[in-house]
Amino acid sequence: MPGWRNKKVQRDLKKYRDPIEKIPKTLGNNSKRKSRGNSKKRRYDVKNRSPRQDKSKRRDFNRRSPQENFNRPAFDDKPKNQQTKEDEYYDSLNIKPQVFYPHDWYPETRKMNRNFYFHMGPTNSGKTYAAIEALKKAGKGIYCAPLRLLAWEVAEKLNSEGIRCSLRTGQEKSISEFDTHNACTIEMANAREEYDVAVIDEIQMIADDQRGSAWTNAVLGLRAKEIHLCGDQRSLKLISDLLKVTGDNLKRREYKRMSVLRADQKPIRSFHDLRPGDCIVGFSKKVLFQMKSSINEKLDPDYDKNMKKIKKGMNNTKRHRKIMYKLKEKYLKDNPLKNKCAVIYGTLPPETKKLQAKAFNERDSGLDFLVATNAVGMGLNLNINRIIFTSIEKRIFGKINPLEKTEILQIAGRAGRFHKDGYVSAFTTKTLNKIRNVIQEDQKLSKSIGEKPEDIKKELSKENKIEINIDKYQNEDSEDEHDEGFITITDTNEDEKEESEYLFEQIKDDDYIEDNDFTKHQSMIKAAGFFPSFEQLEIFAYKIIQDYKIALPFSRILDLFLNNSELDDLYFMTNVTVPQEICRRLDKYDNSTAMRLHNTTEFLLDTYAGHKGIRRAIYNFSQCPIKLDYKNGQKRLKILEQFFMELTYFKQVRLPGKNLNDYSILSKGDYTVEDLLQLEEIHNMLEVYLWLGNKYEQEFIEITEAKLLIKHVCKLIDGALKEMYSTGQKKVKIG
């Protein structure tokens, strides 16, 4: 055997990264053999090293923060270290910092005396139900949802009960002049209308780095006499501080979970330990499809028998593995496995999520299990018996991040929604123990205000809702509970009456609350998200023209606003990476800045004012729900730029053509995971078209075609999720 093929030589070579000439002559038994060919082409030569040796660099590149990842070459046409003279000129402007108080931007709202009710409690505690009940009784009301799914659900529920409710999301409008109520996504909330009651759901998202400003605008700007906030108690102190500035009143209602949440004693050791109603939670699409494929195979009674026949007489060689792979693929095509899993993850279209959730809840179609990401934590009513975590860590841009306790509790809290008890489990003992500790710690913090004496139970059973002073019934409170307040017993909905007799909540007037009244958990969220409106940016731009006699591109206005704004400690600037990229891309269509130098202030102001419509369009386009990842970001930006060019020059915007979008995937038969991602990409661009079409109804002339295409794409995605199999994927092993 030649020396370089000797196993001992190969084992020793792993210790060296130097050129072949520096390898010791004593290496191997036949180290004195003659060299074959030119040694410069050997794989150990420095000039011809394998690209695997540069893997560490690629790892570091992938482990950048999310904000840095948006600045990759896939998005930037010009490296940041190559500044033009124009860039240097802009940077040399000594613009005075501008101090902003976001609550001052709503003068009409500041004239009102609003009453806020903070419904706080864990998942499955009935807090949103209580707020919706108050909304039903109002003469005119609005529900602000974090997701379209929730807006759809509330609109359907109110209309089914005879309450006329319109629907308004970024992609669709269903409005009638006779509607008294409105269900909308939070970004579409109208601060110009007056309401009797408003409901803002998932208020803890006011601290979200991407969308937090929408919740801030709703809290500060909604013109409603009564506003109900629903969500996690982490934002209680922040809301209290904001309302002290605005001069509004705050009352809080604390809810207890209606069913008990328990952690399993032992982890899941086999797929046969799964029970109908289980939800397996993973944090990547790859894990979800591996889990789905493994469950369908392992729980199929005939699959193992047929696989044994296929493997009979085969060895674990490369040739035999290829043969087995082809035979297995042929078997699965001829004998498709019965699909037992519904699939839900974040980038799925809302219509598909709704269909998958409905199929899982009904269980008629044989979908006994659900594999999902943390998308199940919000926006879907799911009949889940047990949540099973594959992991409590998630990878973001190559970096592994542990889940926060609040994330674990929100996901785990989906278990037991329509049952007395909900269960939580995991695939390893270590993970299960961590989850158990988090649940136990939370249950200690959220203890109820005391045991209900028998005389209270009798009194409560007489009426659906009464208020009782609890001082004479209550023992001394712990540090996390309050000394004063009332118990309100609210009747639950019909689905929950059988499972939970009463819903307890604790109410406390904000007049009695002092800073030291808040627990550590209630003070976790420190600031609310803020993003400037178009009007704020315009005022800032005109001020620069007057002070410096220069008209700047819209992207520069946004950059300077962000860099020269001083916000109150109650606010923070949300992530503006995507809006900045879009504005830079579209700046070339704004001609108002072409003659921005060496002109009088009056000329610049007149020219700038004449192009206000283009700048507003740039701002609107920067707010569209486009998903930019570093693989397809450049392609999607091209499509968005095409929309803007047609809007600006032709006043007619059509759907992207075949040169920008590959529609051949729509006529394909069998779909793989890669095909599914391509369908999702097409769906996202169609949604962007509809979103912009709602703002420019006359110019976007193919709205009907886009809606039909979206229905077709959603149907294909739903069918692909049911029938997809992938024999090439690595299967999941448990235990």
CA distance linking residue 581 with residue 558, whole number of Å: 11
pLDDT at site 24:
44
In a domain? residue 327:
no
Assess whether 430 and 359 both reside in one domain.
yes
- Total count of domains within the chain: 4
Can you tell me the mean pLDDT for 704-709? 92
Q: Which two tokens stand for residue 47?
A: 């000039």
- DSSP letters of 662-680? -GGGGG-SS--HHHHHHHH
475, 495, 529 — which closes off a domain?
Answer: 529
* Nearest-angstrom CA–CA distance, 581 and 71: 9
Query: Are residues 357 and 273 part of one domain?
Result: yes
- For residues 552 and 510, membership in a common domain is answered with no
Confidence of residue 324 (pLDDT cuts 50, 70, 90): confident
Per the domain annotation, does 105 fall within a domain?
no
Nearest CA-CA partner of 97 in 552, 567, 601:
567
pLDDT, the chain, mean: 75
Q: Is pLDDT larger for residue 9 or for residue 646?
A: 646
Average pLDDT over residues 585-595: 74
For residues 567 and 680, membership in a common domain is answered with: yes
Predicted local confidence at residue 8, as pLDDT: 55
Separation CA 535–CA 541 (nearest Å): 10
Greater confidence (718 vs 591) lies with 718
Identify the domain containing residue 473 by its residue range.
113-257+446-529
Kindly state the average pLDDT of the residues 161-187.
Answer: 92
239 close to 348: Cβ distance less than 8 angstroms? no
Q: What is the mean pLDDT of residues 428-455?
A: 72
Distance CA 655, CA 104 (A): 41
Q: Check residue 553 and give its pLDDT.
A: 85
Strand 165-168 to 181-185 pairing: parallel
Residue 100, both tokens: 């902003």
Averaged over 323-336, what is the pLDDT? 69
pLDDT, one tens digit per residue, over 345-364 is 988 999 899 888 888 988 76
Q: With a cut of 50, say whether residue 308 has pLDDT above it.
A: yes
Q: Is residue 98 part of a domain?
A: no
pLDDT digits (tens, 9 = 90+) for 32-55: 444 444 444 444 444 444 444 444
Q: Using CA atoms, how far apart are residues 83 and 88, in angstroms rounded to an integer? A: 7
Place of tokens 């002073």: 469
Tokens encoding 93: 């402007």
Instruction: Give the pairing of strands 486-490 and 503-509.
Output: antiparallel
Contacts of 298 (CB under 8 A, 6+ apart): 271, 272, 304
Contact between residue 484 and residue 490 where contact means Cβ atoms under 8 Å apart: no
CA distances from 713 to 47, 303, 685, 693 (A): 49, 31, 12, 19
Q: If you search the block for the tokens 């005075």, which residue do you land on?
A: 96
What are the tens digits of pLDDT across the range 453-497?
Answer: 333 233 333 333 323 222 322 233 332 323 222 222 223 333 333
Residue 706 and residue 693 in contact, taking contact as beta carbons nearer than 8 Å: yes
**pLDDT attached to residue 156:** 93
395 and 463 share a domain?
A: no
Mean pLDDT of 87-94: 64
Any domain includes 518: yes
Q: Is the pLDDT of residue 727 over 50?
A: no
pLDDT digits (tens, 9 = 90+) for 247-305: 999 998 888 877 888 999 999 988 889 999 999 999 888 888 888 888 888 887 777 66
Question: Six-digit token pair at 238?
Answer: 């922040």
Same domain, 645 and 706: yes
Domain contains 469: yes
Name the phi and psi angles at 413, rounded to 5.
-65, -10
What is the tens place of the pLDDT at every residue in 603-653? 677 776 777 888 999 999 999 999 887 677 888 899 999 999 999 999 999
Q: How far apart are CA 12 and CA 20, in angstroms?
A: 12
Do 129 and 212 lie in one domain? The reply is yes
The predicted structure's pLDDT at residue 623? 93
Asked if 253 and 507 touch (Cβ cutoff 8 Å), the reply is yes
Verify that 467 and 567 share a domain, yes or no.
Answer: no
The band of 226, judged by pLDDT with boundaries at 50, 70 and 90, is very high
Which of 388, 409, 437 is the last residue before a domain boundary?
A: 437
pTM for the structure as a whole: 0.76
Does residue 537 share a domain with residue 525?
no
More confident residue, 596 or 609: 609
| pLDDT value for 124 | 77
Across 188-213, average pLDDT:
93
User: Are 525 and 535 found together in one domain?
Assistant: no
| 485 φ, ψ (degrees, to nearest 5) | 150, -170
**Locus of tokens 């009940």:** 133
The DSSP 8-state label assigned to residue 162 in this structure reads T
pLDDT of residue 659: 60
Q: Which residue reads 């998903």 in tokens?
A: 627
Residues 662-680: pLDDT tens digits? 777 888 777 777 888 888 8
Angstrom distance (rounded) from CA 188 to CA 207: 18
In this structure, are 507 and 570 located in the same domain?
A: no
CA dihedral over 371, 374, 379, 385, signed as positive or negative: positive
Please state the rounded mean pLDDT for residues 368-396: 87
**pLDDT (mean) for 404-409:** 88
pLDDT, mean of residues 308-334 = 70
Residue 73 lies in a domain: no
In the predicted structure, residue 76 carries a pLDDT above the cut 90: no
Which of 79-93, 155-169, 575-589, 673-687 has the weakest average pLDDT?
79-93
CATH of the domain at 151: 3.40.50.300
Q: Say which DSSP state 37 is in.
A: S
* Type of residue numbered 552: L
Binned at pLDDT 50, 70 and 90, residue 22 comes out as very low
- Burial of 18 (C-beta count, 10 Å sphere; 0-12/13-18/19+): exposed
Is the residue at 165 inside a domain?
A: yes
Tell me which residue of 384, 150, 128, 133 sits closest to 255, measured CA to CA: 128
Distance spanning both ends of the chain, measured CA to CA:
42
* For helices 148-160 and 127-136, angle between their N-to-C axes, nearest 10 degrees: 50
Both 12 and 147 in one domain: the answer is: no
If you count DSSP H runs as helices and E runs as strands, how many of each does the chain have, helices first? 25, 23
Domain assignment of residue 454, yes or no: yes
pLDDT band at 709 (very low <50, low <70, confident <90, very high): very high
The residue assigned the tokens 């973001």 is: 396
Joined tokens for residue 297: 């195979």
**For tokens 């503006």, what's the residue?**
576
Positive/negative CA dihedral, 390, 394, 397, 401: negative
H/E stretch holding 409 reads helix 405-412
Q: Is the separation of the CB atoms in 707 and 713 below 8 Å?
A: no
- Rounded CA gap, 386 and 414, in Å? 8
The answer to whether the CB of 617 falls within 8 A of the CB of 592 is no
431 vs 77: which has the higher pLDDT: 431
Q: How many CB atoms lie within 10 A of CB 721?
A: 24
- Kindly state the DSSP code that residue 521 receives in the 8-state scheme: G
**Domain's final residue, options 509, 529, 549:** 529
C-alpha 324/C-alpha 311 separation (Å) is 7
